[in-house]
Chains A and B, each alone.
Chain A
């Protein structure tokens, strides 16, 4: 453990994890480290003494702090605040914060010390209520454990620049939109350190720190958002290279679709592994992010890619087939790539039939207006939004113009002419409802999810034809056989 601390240049981190009083002396490898640990702790003892205005001797405080850390095993920050409170002092008078790495930060830290590099910094003008306009700095801080947004609310002595290494004392954290943020306030001291005080930050799309332990083998159908250090064996079905901007720097993403016998997934590689279409690979040390709810495999330089024999998995044509899934399983996963669902269209939703789209953003107009671009001259389109229910769950299935034209067996121009004659577009919607409602179908496409549930962008659809008698007979035989 201490070895890794050394690399990160954060010896103080060990203080509240493994209190030095209980630690076996042998664990501390060098006299230098020992000195750092003792020195840091002594600084906290002095800090408490100061906050209590000398009510207690340093020896008593040291003893009490030892008890909090070793017997009750609370964090150093909590221990210090508790001791000051217990003896009638004000914890706000504590001045020496606890050193942490970015990854260890949680919302609500009162006084934390950081050694970080500025990944990005911008000046911003804000106007707090009842006050004049004020300049603040915002940006992103990084250390080898991760990155975090920050805001400096007070003017700093020296200007900050990208790449600067900072020692920050007494910063505090808050949660904003589900993310921890570091704040520099009036009590915060910021000083620049030498650039080599912290290893260069590498913008990795993952969280940066190397994985510990062996990767877990996972089938593609079982990938879930947030999983990390997984191992997947899959065949590459397609590849493409995209350019994206990561924090302002252009970067190549090597993406595509891969599959095993359980399903397909999009993948994004942040390093060029030279993946080729149709080859079978084992990817170890990947992580899972989701895009509109669909879990997808991501990996970067921390991952290892091994090429396997082509016959290690079923052939491409077989894997490219769309797996049939129950909607409740899709709901549990958050969606899926190129899946097939069998169910009944039990309802048609608002906005089906002839619609008008905004020429700017393609959104469907409501009462002749786009919710972004206001009143515009709409362009006609034809589509269906229907509820597809398979008895295990329901999703909204969206059929585009081409599919809708096929369902209606007429073109959009025919539909427009029909609506003009009837002086209402409802006639097209009603005809679609007649055809579709209560219709069993098999639909294939990508399924995404959000707060409103699942949505399938239908790629192919066909009227479901089932040999009811054969299935009934098979089920009945199974029943009689087991009875």
Chain B
């Protein structure tokens, strides 16, 4: 058996997937196919483990963890058949940078709804440098698929052979044909925006939004002045992040009521506040340690 490649795929793309295939036969590996044609059996993720929870029993624990990257969150489930990953997860104290190697999984509670998750094989606490390197690798991988999918969308009829002829690699070409068959025409502008956002996340211009302490542990030296005026949404997020840090008096996270008050005082509407908080959650800059409290990572 040839070992399955560990794909670097952002949560934003992975969670868009609603297609699971297998090559037929009882022991054939199964794959989660994303709208851009990543055909994922094994996945490698480095992000912020924001919370770990035992949703099983003491006797039969089932650990659920969330891992945030700049585009969204991965959901991990580790039970008795993943003893090493479960043991590591149970000992982690979030938030922490974590590297995860695992298998792709889907869950379909009702027809039409598909949730993707990861069954971890290995979990390891790592540093911010590796997280940044992973983002870069995931960006390269995403760009390859965007480019290949753009070629595919211009093809009629679309065949794997024609893609291979254009120099698209076999591993991508195969998934693209399946993806187009299932999802139809992928919205490439959405993924190009995702790519640009993830790249900007790595640049010092954006570390402003991540707060001064984070910049010190991160790869970037805090840039004194952003080269460009941040977009209004970024500015609001920055303000909200400041509020969350300011309201977090006891280190257990800023209470929601306090955040709302402070936001009002800063001239941020409730809608803008919610949008900013969601944006910060998606970027993995803040998390919810307990219900009703927000904390900076």
Contacts and interface: CB of A to CB of B under 8 A. Distances in A.
A468 B136 contact: yes
B141 interface: yes
A393 B42 CA distance: 11
Nearest to B134: A344
Nearest to A438: B99
| Majority-rule SS of A interface residues | mixed
A394 B133 contact: no
A466 B133 contact: yes
Nearest to B136: A468
B143 A476 contact: no
Interface stretch (B14-22, B54-62, B196-204, B209-217): B196-204
Contacts of B7: 391
B199 A472 contact: yes
Given A389-B44, A452-B2, A468 B196 contact: no
Interface in B85-129: 99, 101, 121-122, 124, 126, 129
Contacts of B122: 346-347, 437
Contacts of B126: 438
Contacts of A392: 5, 169, 171
A173 B195 CA distance: 61
Contacts of A393: 5, 171
A389 B192 contact: no
B28 interface: no
Nearest to A466: B133
Contact of B136 (A327, A471, A483): A471
A479 interface: yes
A346 B101 contact: yes
A328 interface: yes
Interface string A447-483: 0000011000000000010101101110110011001
B130 A440 contact: yes
A412 interface: no
A475 B143 contact: yes
A346 B44 contact: yes
B202 A347 contact: no
A51 interface: no
Given A389-B44, A391-B141, A472-B139, 14 more contacts: A389-B5, A391-B8, A391-B137, A437-B99, A438-B130, A468-B135, A468-B136, A469-B202, A471-B136, A472-B135, A472-B136, A472-B199, A475-B139, A476-B203
Interface of B: 1-8, 44, 46, 99, 101, 121-122, 124, 126, 129-130, 132-133, 135-137, 139-141, 143, 169-171, 192, 195-196, 199-200, 202-204, 219-220
